[in-house]
Amino acid sequence: MSRPVFRFAPSPNGRLHLGHAFSAMLDHTLARAAGGRFLLRLEDVDVTRCRREWEDGIFEDLAWLGLDWDGEVRRQSAHFDAYAAALARLDAAGLLRPSHATRAEIRAAVARAEAEGRPWPRDPDGAPFPPDDDRHPRDDEPVARRLDMAAALSRVPPLDWREAGEGPMGETGRVAARPADWGDPVLARKETPSSYHLAVVVDDAAQGVTHVVRGRDLFWSTSVHRVLQTLLGLPAPVYLHHDLVRDATGRKLSKSAADTALASLRADGLTPADIRRLIGWGAVERRLDSLNESLTRSV
Ligand code: GLU
């Protein structure tokens, strides 16, 4: 078998925090244990939120943790043409639909429904579905293009993926994808030529990624990724979704939780050894052999 390829793919829209440290260290350690390559990709498709200074922060924080990566860093903002080409293929196959409802209109529709006590459907990330008239033609330009999920699902067999980690309910091994839960996901917006889902699928294939190690918050996104991979004829990597690092109150860490930013902890005098202690790395090290074995086993 050729060399496995792993990647760490942060978005430069804030400083890295303890959760990123955990993800990057696990990814790097498993890649090296498998004799594989470890790539760094900057997911900066949302050019309105990403900044150059945060890219430099990512390099600095990874170096401080002692993590090295192979080859050139891939910046998604340099590959909008590749995402546009994938989008054009889906469009030519009749799998895209225009979306007219603005974020404000969706918010207003949700508020109206909820004020009347009607629950509003949401995707697994909690993002509300657009109202029904979203797909109706209007005079103005569409605000986004969405995957027509019903059309997409009529073209692919029931899909699954190989999970070497665990889902929120302990799902592991062969996991059946649940793409319908996502409604018609946005693939491109007026101001952002590619969504996360499309870019991640195109890039993992372009970079020959064989193993995706990432946080459990992205577990069900894999359903959409499997549909896009299948429609675009791209290979499916093996996935390992890991537990999220939580703060003392059990809340998932976010980039806005500045108190857990590696840069602030470093400024407070903490060392990389302190970081390993804070993220419970000792427990991971004891499980590394079994994690590695489950990643390389074929299911
Ligand atoms: N860019 C995503 C994030 O910052 C990670 C995407 C992935 O690993 O697939 O959480």
Mutate to test the pocket of ligand 1, among 200, 202, 224, 253 (most ligand atoms within 8 A of CB): 200
- Dist. CA 251 → ligand 1 center (Å): 19
Assess if residue 277 is contained within a domain: yes
From first to last of its 299 residues, the chain has per-residue pLDDT tens of: 689 999 999 999 999 999 999 999 999 999 999 999 999 999 999 988 999 999 999 999 999 999 999 999 999 999 999 999 999 999 999 999 999 999 999 999 999 999 999 999 999 999 999 999 999 999 989 999 999 999 999 999 999 999 999 999 999 999 999 999 999 999 999 888 899 999 999 999 999 999 999 999 999 999 999 999 999 999 999 999 999 887 666 666 655 555 689 999 999 999 999 999 999 999 899 999 999 888 887 55
Assess if residue 271 is contained within a domain: yes
Assess if residue 35 is contained within a domain: yes
Q: Which of 213, 120, 111 is nearest to 162 (CA)?
A: 213
- Dist. CA 64 → ligand 1 center (Å): 21
For ligand 1, is residue 11 a contact (CB within 6 Å)? yes
For ligand 1, is residue 39 a contact (CB within 6 Å)? no
Can you tell me whether residue 242 is helix, strand or coil?
strand
Q: Report the number of distinct structural domains present in the chain.
A: 1
Assess if residue 263 is contained within a domain: yes
- Dist. CA 95 → ligand 1 center (Å): 25
Report how far residue 95's alpha carbon sits from residue 89's, in angstroms, rounded to the nearest whole number.
9
For ligand 1, is residue 20 a contact (CB within 6 Å)? no
pLDDT (0 to 100) of residue 258: 57
For 256, the domain range is 5-81+160-175+200-298
Residue ID of nearest Cα to ligand 1 atom 10: 10
Which helix (H) or strand (E) element contains residue 146?
strand 144-147
Report how far residue 123's alpha carbon sits from residue 129's, in angstroms, rounded to the nearest whole number.
7
Neighbouring CB atoms inside 10 A of 244's CB total: 14
Phi-psi region of 232 (alpha: psi -120 to 50; beta: other; left: phi over 0): alpha
pLDDT (0 to 100) of residue 191: 86
Q: What is the CA radius of gyration of the chain?
A: 20
Report how far residue 22's alpha carbon sits from residue 177's, in angstroms, rounded to the nearest whole number.
26
**Distance set, CA 28 to CA 7, 37, 67, 163 (Å):** 8, 9, 7, 18
Assess if residue 281 is contained within a domain: yes
For ligand 1, is residue 192 a contact (CB within 6 Å)? no
Residue ID of nearest Cα to ligand 1 atom 6: 9
For ligand 1, is residue 9 a contact (CB within 6 Å)? yes
For ligand 1, is residue 214 a contact (CB within 6 Å)? yes
- Dist. CA 297 → ligand 1 center (Å): 24
Mutate to test the pocket of ligand 1, among 214, 226, 238, 252 (most ligand atoms within 8 A of CB): 214
Report how far residue 232's alpha carbon sits from residue 254's, in angstroms, rounded to the nearest whole number.
32
Question: SS in 3 state form for 24-81?
Answer: HHHHHHHHHHCCCEEEEEECCCCCCCCCHHHHHHHHHHHHHHCCCCCCCCEEHHHCHH
CATH number of 219's domain: 3.40.50.620
For ligand 1, is residue 257 a contact (CB within 6 Å)? no
Tell whether the torsion through CA atoms of 161, 164, 170 and 173 is positive or negative. Answer: positive
Assess if residue 286 is contained within a domain: yes
Assess if residue 74 is contained within a domain: yes
Report how far residue 109's alpha carbon sits from residue 116's, in angstroms, rounded to the nearest whole number.
11
Assess if residue 48 is contained within a domain: yes
